[in-house]
Every structure is written in structure tokens, then in C-alpha cells.
């Protein structure tokens, strides 16, 4: 685990912050479709739409520091269509451009009604697509412990729960939570949260079981994975507490503080889970 922290922390931060940013507009889109927010809350929510963009920028900055030669970052686009990493970066840029466009137009005050709802939905779908490609970037045939559908499933889980929490913070900060709670927003977001925690915890532990069953001539997957149980348990505990914060925010707490604590807990949960993931690397030749 110490080696993963030393070498993969920037990527762990990227795969933590990017899904949270990508999932925030799921909550925003659901709120806009389910609730007629007051003019004051709607305008404040428009101003807060830059928050996911800032989180996304922080994610890309973290990924940039993982490059041994940062000036070679432009070379990542050489494999578009065939390289999972290139596809991931392209999906992230597309999501970022759409998100930026939403933020800018929303601040002009010209984004209203059905157009605003549709645009928010497009941002949410682009975010989910980005999350999927983040997970697929690890579909590397030569690394048997990573080449599994469990990885994109876990990233999508992080996106639903972590991003949902960030969106909830934004809605609560805008003063729209009391209004939203009276509509189908509450029930739909609870379903999103349940799906998020199930995918987050289930995929992470299923991956642990998978790795434990891998045995090569020089590497014992069970021995490798067993040393990470305590970290996965800590990640799970943080995720469960984050889920509890989301439930409290959706059911009865108008203040954004509870949801914000949930975001912090989810960041901790994802970072720990991702570092454990990087520590469970077993290549074909080992």
C-alpha cells in the first residue's frame, strides 16, 4: 500500500475527484425536472454550477502530475478510438466543455424552462459517460487483476453517491432542498444513493475476491489482497457514513453541512479504495 501511495496518489486523486464532478449534475438534473425552484434558489444554483467544474479541473491537475514528462500530455490523443486512456481523456474534455457551456450560459440568465432541464440532463449523461470511460481505461489485457467490468462499475458507483452528495450540497446551499424534498426528487435521489453505495462497496469487495483467486508463478493474489483488508474496511466505513449523510440530507436536514461532510467522507472512501486497487496489480507475466 505504501508503494501505491508513493507512486499512484495523483491518479487516485483523479479517479476520486473526476467521478464526483461527473455525478453532481445527476442531482441537479433530477431537481430541475422534479421541482419548480424559487427564482432566488434557481439563480444561486446557477452560480454554484461552477463548483463541479472546479472539482474537474483539480482532477485533471492531479492527473497531470502523474506524468513523468508533463509536456508529453498532448501525446495521449494519439490513440483515440483504440486506446482506453485516450478515450477517457477525450470523454473528460467533452464533459468539461459541455459543463463549462452550461455554467456560462446559466450565468447570463438566459437558461430557463425546458431548455435548462434538457441542458442539465445532457451534462448529467456526459458525466456518466465520462465515469464509464474512467473505469474502462483500466481494461488492460496484460494486467489481469484490473481487466474486469468490476472497475467501471465501481467508478459509476462513486459517481452516483459522491456526485449525488456534491449536487445535494449545491441544492441545499442554494436554499432549494426544502422545496425539492416535497417532490419526487427525494425518492429518486434515495434510489440513486442506494445504487451508488451498492455499486461502490459491492464492486470493490468483488474485485478483492477476484484478486484473491489469482495465483501466478511468483505472485499470490490471496497474500497480496489480504494485506489490504483493513484499508478496504476503512473505505467501506467511510462510504457507509457518506451514504448516511446523504439520506439525512434528503430526508430532513436543510443545511448543506451534513451533505458536505458526506462529500468529505466519500472522498476519503474513494481515495482509499483506489489506492488499494493500484496496490492489487498483477500482470500476465508475473
What gap in Å lies between CA 138 and CA 146, rounded to an integer? 6
Question: Over the stretch 73-82, which tens digit does the pLDDT of each residue have?
Answer: 555 555 555 5
What cell numbers appear for 158 in the block?
462513486
Nearest residue to 60 via CA among 7, 100, 13: 13
Nearest residue to 92 via CA among 19, 170, 11: 19
Low-confidence ranges of the chain (pLDDT < 50): 69-71
pLDDT value at residue 123:
97
What gap in Å lies between CA 48 and CA 50, rounded to an integer? 5
Residue with grid cell 463541479, as numbered in its chain: 52
3-state class (DSSP) for residue 143: strand
Phi, psi torsion values for 171, nearest 5 degrees:
-65, -45
pLDDT value at residue 78:
54
| Residues 123 and 115: beta-carbon distance below 8 Å | no
Residue with grid cell 465515469, as numbered in its chain: 131
**pTM here?**
0.91
pLDDT value at residue 74:
54
| Residues 141 and 284: beta-carbon distance below 8 Å | yes
3-state class (DSSP) for residue 136: helix
pLDDT value at residue 12:
92
What gap in Å lies between CA 162 and CA 260, rounded to an integer? 10
pLDDT value at residue 63:
82
Query: CA 193, 199, 201, 206: dihedral to nearest 10 degrees?
Result: 170
CB atoms within 10 A of CB 238: 21
99 Cβ contact list (under 8 Å, min separation 6): 21, 25, 49, 52, 53, 56, 123, 126, 127
Phi, psi torsion values for 110, nearest 5 degrees:
-100, 5
pLDDT value at residue 112:
84
pLDDT value at residue 1:
64
pLDDT value at residue 79:
52
CB atoms within 10 A of CB 276: 25
Instruction: Write the burial class of residue 210 (CB in 10 Å: 0-12 exposed, 13-18 middle, 19+ buried).
Output: middle
Domains along the chain?
2-279 (1.20.1630)
115 Cβ contact list (under 8 Å, min separation 6): none
| Residues 124 and 24: beta-carbon distance below 8 Å | no
pLDDT value at residue 5:
65
Amino acid at each position: 500500500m505504501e508503494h501505491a501511495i508513493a507512486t499512484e496518489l495523483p491518479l487516485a486523486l483523479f479517479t476520486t475527484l473526476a467521478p464526483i464532478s461527473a455525478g453532481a449534475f445527476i442531482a441537479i438534473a433530477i431537481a430541475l425536472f422534479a421541482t419548480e425552484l424559487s427564482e432566488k434558489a434557481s439563480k444561486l444554483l446557477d452560480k454554484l454550477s461552477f463548483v463541479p467544474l472546479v472539482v474537474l479541473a483539480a482532477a485533471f491537475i492531479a492527473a497531470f502530475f502523474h506524468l513523468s514528462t508533463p509536456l508529453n500530455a498532448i501525446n495521449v490523443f494519439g490513440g483515440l478510438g483504440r486506446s482506453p486512456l485516450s478515450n477517457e481523456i477525450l470523454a473528460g474534455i467533452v464533459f468539461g466543455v459541455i459543463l463549462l457551456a452550461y455554467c456560462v450560459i446559466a450565468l447570463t440568465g438566459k437558461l430557463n424552462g425546458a431548455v435548462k432541464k434538457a441542458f442539465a440532463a445532457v451534462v448529467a449523461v456526459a458525466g456518466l459517460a465520462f465515469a464509464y470511460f474512467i473505469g474502462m481505461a483500466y481494461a488492460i489485457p496484460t494486467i489481469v487483476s484490473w481487466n474486469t467490468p468490476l472497475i467501471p462499475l465501481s467508478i459509476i458507483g462513486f459517481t452516483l453517491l459522491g456526485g449525488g452528495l456534491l449536487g445535494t450540497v449545491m441544492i441545499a446551499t442554494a436554499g432549494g432542498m426544502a422545496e425539492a424534498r416535497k417532490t419526487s426528487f427525494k425518492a429518486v435521489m434515495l434510489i440513486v444513493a442506494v445504487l451508488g453505495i451498492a455499486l461502490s462497496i459491492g464492486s470493490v469487495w468483488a474485485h478483492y475476491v477476484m484478486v484473491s483467486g489469482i495465483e501466478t508463478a511468483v505472485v499470490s493474489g490471496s497474500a497480496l489482497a489480504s494485506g489490504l483488508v483493513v484499508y478496504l474496511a476503512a473505505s467501506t466505513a467511510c462510504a457507509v457514513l457518506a451514504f448516511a449523510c446523504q439520506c439525512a440530507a434528503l430526508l430532513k436536514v436543510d443545511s448543506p453541512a451534513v451533505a458536505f461532510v458526506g462529500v468529505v467522507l466519500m472522498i476519503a472512501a474513494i481515495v482509499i479504495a483506489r489506492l488499494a486497487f493500484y496496490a492489487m496489480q498483477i500482470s500476465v507475466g508475473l
